[in-house]
Structure 1
Amino acid sequence: MKKIILYSLLMLLALHASAQKRTKVACVGNSITYGYTLPERETQAYPARLQQMLGDAYQVGNFGKSGATLLNRGHRPYMQQEEYRKAMAFAGDIVVIHLGINDTDPRDWPNYRDEFIRDYLALIDSFRTAKPDCRIIIAKLTPIADRHPRFESGTRDWRGEIQQAIETVAHVANVQLTDFEQPLYPYPFMLPDAVHPNPEGAGILAQTVYSAITGDYGGLQMPMTYTDRMVLQRDRPLQIKGMANADAKVKVSIAGQKKTARAGSDGHWQVTLAPLSAGGPYTLTVTDGKTTLLYKDVLAGEVWLCSGQSNMEFMLKAATTASKDIPAAKDSQLRLFDMKGRWLTHAVEWPVSVLDSLNHLQYYKGTQWEAATPETARNFSAIAYYFGKMLRDSLQVPVGLICNAIGGSPTEAWIDRSTLEYRFPAILKQWTGNDFIQDWVRGRAALNIKKSSYKEQRHPYEPCYLYEAGIRPLESFPIKGIIWYQGESNAHNLTTHEKLFHLLVDSWRRNWNDEQLPFYYVQLSSIDRPSWPWFRDSQRKMMEDIRATGMAVSSDHGDSLDVHPRNKKPIGERLGHWALNRTYGHKQVVPSGPLYRNVEFRNGAAYLTFDYGEGLHSADGQPLRTFEVAEIDGLFEPAVAEVEGNRLKVYNKSIKNPRYVRYGWQPFTRANLVNKTGLPASTFRTE
């Protein structure tokens, strides 16, 4: 009996000693830490989930206080709350702090912003006093969705300022910084009230803290664009980046180069390779000592992103020249990365099983790099294929094409959320009933997701969606430039589109950290839709406003009834003309047909000059047609156009004092002005 009692006492002492050795984690914060709005806060709040992940070797305490501010003169200072006193008594070995959301209140940030950094440093110092060797982790703020009632009146901007202040605090206090924003930012449905995460969102926060504490980020990982047969951009310093467990030593080797990087506390690592000359095949090796990733048959060459809506998505097998060109599509140095949607946006109701996947941005099918063959090329974008083939023929280097175009998609779906939140927030508001968004777009989306009962159900046409599902996952994979064919789903409102198109180009150039990233796009073609002449001219003028852009005219290959004209080869090649001339310096290649430059009115006629206007003539040998003149804007009459050297004389004998000229100003136009290379002139009007 004495032995049993002694054994029991020893076991109790051992258990007590074990409990004493448990690492204590104090989770300090506001209602998000507390678990406000969660159905079962005690088990669903992020600290409770963190406890489950960390296991019995840790003791996690939840010291969240709803409504708490970091500011000591805020409306509810955390350091004056009972939860703070309990956190101090807990004396955590690790302290995780997430405060600042409530400081966006108009009572707080406008008055006391200058005190934020000092107050945060004081809070950190107090925990270091309670436990001198404690480890402090501070978190960047969780998102606040644009649905928040004060979003535009201050919350959006003040929250951004607080994020910057938190980064400053991390640097000054020499504490670990983790990010509560990025894991939730693309998933606004996880913030039902625009602020507080739902149970899934709380789980993501728990995983974020778990990784920050343990350094476990799932081991070595590379972006989805890294597969066998990929093409890496040649002739420029090449950033290779990925994820690994914190502090892992990652080695990257290719073509005799060997680079090493150390993963940061956030798991991110990056190396910069010296420029690769065109060629290959190479093997790219990435290893952290535990896992080795080998990418074989890698080429160095020219990489282009091909994006937009259905006319870019339009497959080679449906083009007029398919029967001739598909059998010849055998080129081991033309590589295709074909991103296709899992569900086509046809006029159907999608099954309920689709809807949750949409919310989680799981819209694109998995894919990998493939060499061009009749089998791979036939289902690839026709325009992208013809563009890539022209580059291959002219440059004689490997070419890689990434295509992620989605039929029917509007421009706003391709722009990152932050850009729209700050520069066009109105388009985010209740997007399915928003007049900035084309009726057809809203109607098709509503039909596709009709079976959803979820208020924040997502769809590929939603603003930001395709950026988050189709651009963000590319992880800034190095590219040379972009070709774009889109606009049909925004043609109802050219003023809105003009704003959106500028934002689109800015958004993507910022993503690739390249202010001069070439962006070549296709002007809408001809079809019997009344707004299209104005839209085409708007596209022409934007080329003048946005640097490093070029526009391929397609109106001579339009179809009066079909929004998807089938003759794609000349359109892809016209994009190729821009790239060869502007990006690759082939000045002998004329990039465009005649582009209106200026007009002079005298002696009852208009004299027009054009860029790329050498050798003006009609495409069909007939008189030049579709020119019109007017003395009063809006009262146009047909005009005669005659070539005089490299300019045009345009007149109507009944109009003595013309002041306006327009050309190709029909939805479906038979305009026939071309230059010496046979490239067509754009729709235009003088102003």
Structure 2
Amino acid sequence: MISAYSDDKQFTMRIKYGLYLSLFLGLSFTTSAKSKGPIRVACIGNSITYGYGLADREHEAYPVLLQQKLGAKYQVENFGKSGATLLSRGHRPYFQQEEYKKALAFRPDIAVIHLGVNDTDPRNWPNYQDEFIPDYHHLIDTLRAVNPQVRILIARTTPIGVEHPRFESGTRDWQLQIQQAIEQVAKSADVELIDFHTPLYPYPHYFPDAVHPIAAGMHFLAETAYQAISGDFGGLQLPAIYSDGMVLQRQRPLTIRGKANAGELVTLSFHGWSGNTKTNRLGEWAITLPAQSAGGPYSLEVSTPQSKRKIKLNNVYVGEVWLCSGQSNMAFMLSQSTDQEHRPIQPDSMLRIYNMQPAHETTASAWPVSFLDSLDQLRYYRPATWEGARPSKTNISAIAYHFARELRDSLQIPVGIVINAIGGSPTEAWIDRATLEQEFPAILRQWRKNDFIMPWVRERAGQNLQAQDTPLARHPYAPTYLYDTGIRPLSSYTFRGAIWYQGESNAHNIEAHQQLFPLLVKSWRKTFGATLPFYYVQLSSINRPSWPAFRDSQRRLARPSQGIDMVVSMDHGDKADVHPTIKYPIGHRLALLALSGQYGYRSLEARSPELLSVSWQQAQVLELTFAGTSELRTSDAKELRGFEVLTYDGKTHPLTGSMRGATVTLQLPPTLRGKDLWRLRYAWRPYTDANLTGATGLPVSTFTIDLKTNAHDAQ
């Protein structure tokens, strides 16, 4: 390996380490072979291992906590050095520190290595990144030299937060490269890889300086190291959503994932099929069920014969499963809706509901301190169970229920819906941290003072948190929080698709939402599958000035050919209430998209008519052609309303028109003769009475088109 260190200085350093190691070995092995006694565990690392910044590192540093967990049969020592780099030519090489010499003299039976955070320094990684893997091998080799039987665990590095001053100028990307290098070392050096990154990633509030975890974070590191060393992962476990009465997605191979103690045999049986696997070193197991046809109820059983543990789930169905999410209009309950009296909930054991509800609603009140502590620990939702539809079950989403009812009636198979909507929640709360760090890091910084976040959202969070308000306090509206608490726990479950009603808490900044919405879809497709259908509801009508432009922006975000599609709801708005009480039509329209797009009901008119082209027929006549319907109508059988034209002086002029087939003809008034026209708009009022629909009553969306430059395509 000398060729990797051809530089004279590097070669000299390597010889020095070799001479030191030779001298040490000559002395140590003249004494005796491995003596009996506690199993020696060396925690090798930087300031994080050392416990920098802790109020009481002698009791709070992770090696101390690890000692407590492992017990008297182990001797755990802390060999952390603040500022240390793995790179031997870094600004403070671990190889040159006294802690390195002491770690070798300790002759560990187990070594837990956490190095690499300081290697992100611009003095280090840009210059010497090619030496990281050889240097890591050298560290491993020296540990094996003093104890050939040493068990070595190398850790993916702890997170570096977005508040770090160099986050976007290199630290973010270089840490990712270092993580990849560490994973490569684990394979090439045949050592165990453990993960100090993932358990702490959803807890940025544990890193007040963006680098060093507080005492609460140290418990995660100690637990991760303990589990890896002992193989004790708490025995057989399944994610909470796998429970009695659940619905599994039909017609797809289903990979069921869980936890068990390392090396345990796990057996799964379902509906006459059985399979088994062994848990890996990280306590993870996965068994893939072959695709199933709709049916049930069945039983699903998972067991670990070695530890004699068994989980048996009863009344399991196979059918269609949808995720129903968003903010308050999706959370709006059947008991609150005015169409409940006309369309009451029907008892149906094969329409199954998993209703994830918050422990506290985000009303204008101060939450108790005990709940704020739970928030910090990502315990926001109450435990949920799968239940069948019944008349008394009216505390569920009205839109989600009507959507599921339509699918159930049309498909005649079991249907399951998972509801996790949270009132007032902004889009950014539902996106995973890695996506935002890469694509929109600015929205993560000081979110309570961040103009990308709607003022109302920040104010409401302040009200809820006032009993114990700190700069790093968590709240459901914080970026990534609802992904971490409401999406990530579902990540092992298989869904046919998702329906989404949200945007009210992002309507203040259209441009930001235009970035966030595609990131939301990207995030969920990364979690649930690259082709997850995503059907969403356009905001309705209300007297809020930004809403026409926001509705048009939502229209432009639809990508039907990519499974991202929208339903219009402005015809069921309310002038003053952001929560319209009529919900059945919205659930029905979402179901039309699903039936047409996913279940082969191609003849349905499932989408609102869309403007296809605009042309001048005469000097004063505009002809608009629409796609997606055989015939245009008005919702109230009255004259056409909602069209207007803008001139370049910014003035609006209402237009009259008529319909024939899929064409609208608009007549310009004589007062506009000879004037340059700027834009054509439709339904461009916050609360609109525009009335153009397709043949089946689906309303045409708010839109605007530039007449000067675009006479054909409304997109």
TM-score (norm 1): 0.96
- Correspondence list, 1:270-419, <5 A: 270-289=286-305, 290-326=308-344, 328-376=345-393, 378-419=394-435
Task: Give the Cα separation in 1 of the matches to 2:532 and 2:616.
Answer: 38
Which amino acid letter does the alignment assign opposite residue 406 of structure 1? I
Q: Post-superposition shift, 1:453? A: 4.0
Task: Give the Cα separation in 1 of the matches to 2:366 and 2:130.
Answer: 53
Q: Against the structure 1 CA distance between its residues 510 and 445, is the aligned structure 2 distance closer, same or farther, given a 3 Å change threshold?
A: same
Task: Give the Cα separation in 2 of the matches to 1:50 and 1:283.
Answer: 40
Q: Post-superposition shift, 1:319? A: 1.0
Partner of 1:556: 571
8 Å Cα contact 1:232/1:302 also seen in 2: yes
Task: Give the Cα separation in 1 of the matches to 2:626 and 2:310.
Answer: 57
CA deviations over 1:326-367 (Å, ceiling 9, x no partner) = 3x4211100000001111111111122221111111110001
Q: Post-superposition shift, 1:614? A: 1.6
Does 1:233 pair with 2:252?
no
Structure 2: where are the runs of 5+ without partners? Answer: 1-31, 707-715
8 Å Cα contact 2:544/2:686 also seen in 1: yes
Which amino acid letter does the alignment assign opposite residue 311 of structure 1? N
Q: Post-superposition shift, 1:261? A: 1.3
Task: Give the Cα separation in 1 of the matches to 2:193 and 2:631.
Answer: 63
Q: Post-superposition shift, 1:17? A: 13
CA deviations over 1:172-213 (Å, ceiling 9, x no partner) = 111100000111111111112211111111121111100000
Partner of 2:181: 165
Task: Give the Cα separation in 2 of the matches to 1:88 and 1:521.
Answer: 59
Query: In the alignment, which of 679, 684, 687 is matched to residue 665 of structure 1?
Result: 684
- Correspondence list, 1:225-624, <5 A: 225-289=241-305, 290-326=308-344, 328-376=345-393, 378-512=394-528, 514-544=529-559, 547-603=562-618, 604-624=620-640
Q: Post-superposition shift, 1:658? A: 4.4
Q: Post-superposition shift, 1:631? A: 4.3
Task: Give the Cα separation in 2 of the matches to 1:397 and 1:124.
Answer: 57
Task: Give the Cα separation in 1 of the matches to 2:678 and 2:209.
Answer: 56
Q: Post-superposition shift, 1:644? A: 2.9
CA deviations over 1:631-651 (Å, ceiling 9, x no partner) = 438332100121133211112
Which amino acid letter does the alignment assign opposite residue 686 of structure 1? I
8 Å Cα contact 1:313/1:406 also seen in 2: yes
Q: Post-superposition shift, 1:598? A: 2.3
Structure 1: where are the runs of 5+ without partners? Answer: 1-15
Task: Give the Cα separation in 2 of the matches to 1:60 and 1:601.
Answer: 82
Partner of 1:205: 221
Does 1:26 pair with 2:10?
no
Q: Post-superposition shift, 1:545? A: 8.3
8 Å Cα contact 1:533/1:665 also seen in 2: yes
8 Å Cα contact 2:256/2:492 also seen in 1: no
CA deviations over 1:36-70 (Å, ceiling 9, x no partner) = 11111122111111111111111111111110000
Task: Give the Cα separation in 2 of the matches to 1:175 and 1:634.
Answer: 69
8 Å Cα contact 2:631/2:660 also seen in 1: no
8 Å Cα contact 1:605/1:658 also seen in 2: no
Partner of 1:4: none
Partner of 2:157: 141
Task: Give the Cα separation in 2 of the matches to 1:259 and 1:96.
Answer: 34
Task: Give the Cα separation in 2 of the matches to 1:74 and 1:582.
Answer: 56
Partner of 1:71: 87
CA deviations over 1:207-250 (Å, ceiling 9, x no partner) = 11000001100000000101100000000111111001001111
CA deviations over 1:49-101 (Å, ceiling 9, x no partner) = 11111111111111111100000100011111111111111111111100000
Query: In the alignment, which of 685, 693, 711 is matched to residue 674 of structure 1?
Result: 693
Q: Post-superposition shift, 1:578? A: 0.5
User: Which shifted more, 299-308 or 149-158?
Assistant: 149-158
Task: Give the Cα separation in 1 of the matches to 2:354 and 2:246.
Answer: 8
Q: Post-superposition shift, 1:324? A: 3.7
Q: Against the structure 1 CA distance between its residues 283 and 264, is the aligned structure 2 distance closer, same or farther, given a 3 Å change threshold?
A: same
Task: Give the Cα separation in 1 of the matches to 2:626 and 2:123.
Answer: 59
8 Å Cα contact 1:49/1:203 also seen in 2: yes
CA deviations over 1:13-46 (Å, ceiling 9, x no partner) = xxx9998331111111011111111111122111
8 Å Cα contact 1:306/1:484 also seen in 2: yes
SS at match of 1:400: strand
8 Å Cα contact 1:146/1:429 also seen in 2: yes
8 Å Cα contact 2:257/2:492 also seen in 1: no
SS at match of 2:209: coil
Does 1:652 pair with 2:671?
no
SS at match of 1:449: helix
Query: In the alignment, which of 110, 115, 132 is matched to residue 116 of structure 1?
Result: 132
SS at match of 2:78: strand
Which amino acid letter does the alignment assign opposite residue 507 of structure 1? S
Task: Give the Cα separation in 2 of the matches to 1:609 and 1:285.
Answer: 57
CA deviations over 1:420-476 (Å, ceiling 9, x no partner) = 111101111111111111111111111110121432101111111111111111133
Task: Give the Cα separation in 1 of the matches to 2:558 and 2:61.
Answer: 51
Q: Against the structure 1 CA distance between its residues 529 and 601, is the aligned structure 2 distance closer, same or farther, given a 3 Å change threshold?
A: same
User: Number of residues paired by the alignment?
Assistant: 669
TM-score (norm 2): 0.92
Which amino acid letter does the alignment assign opposite residue 327 of structure 2? Q
Q: Against the structure 1 CA distance between its residues 634 and 583, is the aligned structure 2 distance closer, same or farther, given a 3 Å change threshold?
A: farther
Partner of 1:5: none
Q: Against the structure 1 CA distance between its residues 633 and 500, is the aligned structure 2 distance closer, same or farther, given a 3 Å change threshold?
A: farther
Partner of 2:17: none
User: Which shifted more, 235-244 or 606-615?
Assistant: 606-615
CA RMSD between the two structures: 1.5
Task: Give the Cα separation in 2 of the matches to 1:473 and 1:538.
Answer: 31
Which amino acid letter does the alignment assign opposite residue 589 of structure 1? L
Task: Give the Cα separation in 2 of the matches to 1:121 and 1:67.
Answer: 20
